[in-house]
């Protein structure tokens, strides 16, 4: 398959009124109410598809339709999709060992269980380890996560034990990249992005020190691509009459391969695990930290795509089951068109509240004890502009007064002695309190990859 770079025309999903696709707009509105009013949930975007069309969409300003969002572990479902293409093309064998793709490690990987870890085992989070191994794998003296992972003896026979373990997905990504001889984004471009009408120029994926996309996290993409992925899987790999992803792969990736009933106390994380997809009480999904969701509901012929800053991810799904599922029953009121119009108006005016109050006074500030992140060494406010000194770099952004000032990857609002900084290509919000020449920084949700602030955006 040719991978020559070509200009890709962005093709949006078709749009329809909710009632024309059997969706009660009142239920969607109730779901939005729940998202906005549940502690631990902060929505950033929402797309609801029914019968292939978008029937509801909204972005909470300063988030926008064209802006990519860090998907965290929802990245895993895109990695699994790359694996599906690689298997279909004979590049990767699910029943081959991970080690077989890295023969240069063979002499040093002597543990019998590690040598028996198959590609299908790591795809299903079933390497045999009982605990997350990322820190140990990253700390390996070789600097290679796959090698470090294979050096950690599994606690049980591979294939018998579920453990949500990042190096499993890293290994899947590394196997595909080794077998294909190219990165995941490059590999997926002609196979996934171009057929779905997605411009790869707006995408980015975090890489390791060997320039490999890490697979388990770090993918930045607009919400519409998340919805398109869900639609592709809902349609068993078919897109506009073309079989893009083998239907057999869709069925295999979205069935349970391993029991995860004891994983945690949340019911939608206890229903089984496929190939980088969670089986849920209703349908299946890919998801990522702080509430990034691609929920596929085959019985309802629906997809729900969400980005957010939501530590309480179970609450998001609970609200979907309570409000969205009944809305998809096809039972519509006589005045459904009026509810369609009301919902469209509501979704068109969504926004996260900015700070209100007097403008932030000019000043220079140094960190107070315990301020986060520790890498932020100075803050300056001058003429309505915020300047952050972090990790040897300088970030500048306008400060919105009673609004969010959008400065590329930053959206900032300030009032009095408080400035809120949204890293708007990620879920994250940094609160800055300024007083007496000192600042105290506090994350609303702390970035998981602990990067310099300048890297909290789509990787180039």
Dihedral Cα 267, 270, 273, 279, nearest 10 deg: -30
Q: Between 3.40.710.10, 3.20.20.150, 3.40.50.300, 3.40.50.450, what CATH number should domain 1-352 receive?
A: 3.40.710.10
| Structure confidence at residue 67 (pLDDT) | 96
| Structure confidence at residue 5 (pLDDT) | 53
Instruction: Spell out the per-residue pLDDT of the chain, length 460, in tens.
Output: 444 456 788 999 999 999 999 999 999 999 999 999 999 999 999 999 999 999 999 999 999 999 999 999 999 999 999 999 999 999 999 999 999 999 999 999 999 999 999 999 999 999 999 999 999 999 999 999 999 999 999 999 999 999 999 999 999 999 999 999 999 999 999 999 999 999 999 999 999 999 999 999 999 999 999 999 999 999 999 999 999 999 999 999 999 999 999 999 999 999 999 999 999 999 999 999 999 999 999 999 999 999 999 999 999 999 999 999 999 999 999 999 999 999 999 999 999 999 999 999 999 999 999 999 999 999 999 999 999 999 999 999 999 999 999 999 999 999 999 999 999 999 999 999 999 999 999 999 999 987 799 999 999 8
| Structure confidence at residue 3 (pLDDT) | 44
Which residues, other chains included, contact 344 with Cβ-Cβ below 8 Å and sequence gap of 6+? none
| Structure confidence at residue 2 (pLDDT) | 43
Residue with tokens 């020559």: 4
Which residues, other chains included, contact 349 with Cβ-Cβ below 8 Å and sequence gap of 6+? none
Query: Please, what is the angle between helix 166-180 and helix 75-88, to 10°?
Result: 40
Alpha-carbon gap, residue 102 to 98, rounded angstroms: 7
Closest to 423 in 3D by CA, of 452, 389, 391: 452
pTM: 0.97
Pairing of strands 438-443, 363-367: parallel
| Structure confidence at residue 1 (pLDDT) | 47
Count Cβ atoms below 10 Å from residue 242 Cβ, excluding itself. 8
| Structure confidence at residue 449 (pLDDT) | 87
Between the two ends of the chain, the Cα-to-Cα distance in Å is 25
Domain regions of the chain by residue span = 1-352, 363-455
Evaluate whether 180 touches 191 at the Cβ level (below 8 Å): no
Six-digit token pair at 296? 């596929």
Q: What is the DSSP letter of 324?
A: I
Pairing of strands 405-407, 393-398: unpaired
Local structure of 339: helix, strand or coil: helix
Q: What are phi and psi of 410, to 5 degrees?
A: -110, 140
Q: What are phi and psi of 94, to 5 degrees?
A: -60, -30
Alpha-carbon gap, residue 193 to 111, rounded angstroms: 39
């Amino acid at each position: 398959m040719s991978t020559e770079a070509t200009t890709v025309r962005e093709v949006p999903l078709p749009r329809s009124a909710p009632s024309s696709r059997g969706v009660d707009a009142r239920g969607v509105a109730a779901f939005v109410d729940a998202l906005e009013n549940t502690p631990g949930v902060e929505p950033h975007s929402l797309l609801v598809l029914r019968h292939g069309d978008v029937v509801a969409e909204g972005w909470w300003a300063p988030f926008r339709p064209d802006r990519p969002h860090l998907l965290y572990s929802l990245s895993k479902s895109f990695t699994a999709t790359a694996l599906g293409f690689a298997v279909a093309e004979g590049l990767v064998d699910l029943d081959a060992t991970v080690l077989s793709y890295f023969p240069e490690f063979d002499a040093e990987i002597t543990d019998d269980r590690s040598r028996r870890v198959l590609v299908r085992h790591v795809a299903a989070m079933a390497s045999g380890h009982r605990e997350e191994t990322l820190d140990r794998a990253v700390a390996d003296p070789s600097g290679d996560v796959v090698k470090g992972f294979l050096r950690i003896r599994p606690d049980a026979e591979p294939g018998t034990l579920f453990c949500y373990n990042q190096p499993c997905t890293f290994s899947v990504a590394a196997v595909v990249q080794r077998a294909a001889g190219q990165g995941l984004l490059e590999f997926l471009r002609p196979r996934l992005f171009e057929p779905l009408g997605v411009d790869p120029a707006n995408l980015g994926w975090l890489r390791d020190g060997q320039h490999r996309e890490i697979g388990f996290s770090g993918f930045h993409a607009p919400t519409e691509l998340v919805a398109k992925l869900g639609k592709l899987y809902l349609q068993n790999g078919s897109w506009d009459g073309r079989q893009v992803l083998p239907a057999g792969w869709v069925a295999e990736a979205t069935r349970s391969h391993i029991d995860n009933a004891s994983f945690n106390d949340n019911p939608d994380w206890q229903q089984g695990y496929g190939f980088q997809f969670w089986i849920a009480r209703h349908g299946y999904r890919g998801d990522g930290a702080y509430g990034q969701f691609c929920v596929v509901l085959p019985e309802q012929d629906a997809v729900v795509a969400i980005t957010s800053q939501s530590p309480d991810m179970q609450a998001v799904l609970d609200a979907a089951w309570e409000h969205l599922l009944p809305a998809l029953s096809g039972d519509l009121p006589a005045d459904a068109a009026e509810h369609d119009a009301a919902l469209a108006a509501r979704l068109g005016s969504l926004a996260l509240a900015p700070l209100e109050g007097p403008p932030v006074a000019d000043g220079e500030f140094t960190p107070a004890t315990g301020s986060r992140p520790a890498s932020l060494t100075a803050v300056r406010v001058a003429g309505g502009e915020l300047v952050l000194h972090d990790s040897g770099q300088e970030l500048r952004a306008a400060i919105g007064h009673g609004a969010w000032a959008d400065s590329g990857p930053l959206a900032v609002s300030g009032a009095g002695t408080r400035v809120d900084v949204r890293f708007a290509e990620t879920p994250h919000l940094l609160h800055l309190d300024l007083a007496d020449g000192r600042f105290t920084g506090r994350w609303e949700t702390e970035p998981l990859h602990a990067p310099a602030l300048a890297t909290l955006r789509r990787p180039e």
